[in-house]
Amino acid sequence: MSDATPPAVITAAEVTHLAGLARIALRPDEIEHLAGELTQIVDAVARVRRVATPDVPATSHPLPLVNVLRDDVVGAVLTPEQVLAGAPAAQDGRFRVPAILGEEQ
């Protein structure tokens, strides 16, 4: 590209932050590696942005479909046994999870 805009650089610190948000454990060498790869991806997206003119609408969905809806009619549910089939621990018909201190919804 002979564009004057320098490519955005994704830093190791940003990758570390994202990995924390996504709960993914990464080694330092993986962080370095991903920082390089993500920089390339961001740069590729930036090229598309340079080509797209203001009259090109943003695309979040590639299919020309809208309003795919369902009628409000009750259908099948899982049994409580099925719901809990994959639970590492259960109690009183519910999943039992470790307490998460300092957070509350």
From residue 68 to residue 87, what is the string marking binding to another protein with x (rule CB under 8 A)? xxxxxxxxxxxxx--xx---
Token readout for 55 is: 């009259």
Q: Is 13 in the site for another protein (CB under 8 A)?
A: no
How many Å separate Cα 34 from the centre of its chain? 16
Q: Is 48 in the site for another protein (CB under 8 A)?
A: no
Nearer to another protein, 6 or 75 (CB): 75
Say what the alpha-carbon torsion angle 85, 90, 92, 98 is, to the nearest 10 degrees.
Answer: -140
| Shortest Å distance, C-beta 2 to another protein | 31
C-alpha–C-alpha distance, residues 85 and 74, integer Å: 23
Q: Is 6 in the site for another protein (CB under 8 A)?
A: no
Q: Is 25 in the site for another protein (CB under 8 A)?
A: no
How many Å separate Cα 22 from the centre of its chain? 8
Nearer to another protein, 1 or 99 (CB): 99
Query: Collapsing DSSP states into helix, strand and coil, what is residue 21?
Result: helix
Nearer to another protein, 54 or 75 (CB): 75
